[in-house]
Amino acid sequence: MDKSIILLLFFSFVLAITSFYLGFIKPSKNLGYAAKSFFVLVSIILIPLFAGILWFQSSAKERLIETGIVPYPGIGETIGIAFGTGERPVWLFRTGTDKLSIGSFYSNENNRPGWNLEESGEQTVILINTENRMTVKAQTGPEKGSVMYLMDKITVDK
């Protein structure tokens, strides 16, 4: 799970507690209504939003495995809200290294059961099966790398 989302959730709890105190327990003439409004906003919108993101992040790797793709070794936590849901799922994982070789890993058929290799490079791989196309892209940076998986439906032009 992304540490920044965990921190945002923590600070949302702190803000909710503070605004509850300032709005309901010790209300002032100037801040009372604003604190009550802020408490409602944080409690109803922000806390459920961040908790939901963390919930979906916790099972992102399992959703990727359900597609038949073996996750690249060393992938760790998901980044942001790219956790593999929706019509065009996207997964984005942080890795523990900046030396990524996606092409050689997915050239092995055991790492992509049910998928055929359409295109392969060192940092980008495109896999297809009967219904979907999966693009796997490695990105390296000064600190660590990341691996992105993007799945699209294959459409047939008529």
Tens of pLDDT, residue by residue over 70-95, are 898 888 888 877 778 888 899 999 88
Does 46 have pLDDT greater than 70? Answer: yes
CA-wise closest residue to 92 among 104, 80, 107, 103: 80
Model pLDDT, residue 98: 66
Predicted local distance difference test score (pLDDT) of residue 57? 83
Is the distance from CB of 126 to CB of 135 less than 8 angstroms?
yes
Q: Are 103 and 127 in contact (CB under 8 A)?
A: no
Q: Looking at residues 98-104, what average pLDDT do you find?
A: 78
Percent of the chain with pLDDT over 90: 39
DSSP SS3 for 124: strand
When pLDDT is averaged across residues 98-105 and rounded to a whole number, the result is 79
Q: What is the structure's pLDDT at 35? A: 92
Q: What is the mean pLDDT of residues 86-110?
A: 84
Q: Mean pLDDT across the chain, nearest whole number?
A: 87
pLDDT for position 117:
92
Is pLDDT at 127 greater than 90 in this prediction? Answer: yes
Task: Report the residue count for the chain.
Answer: 158
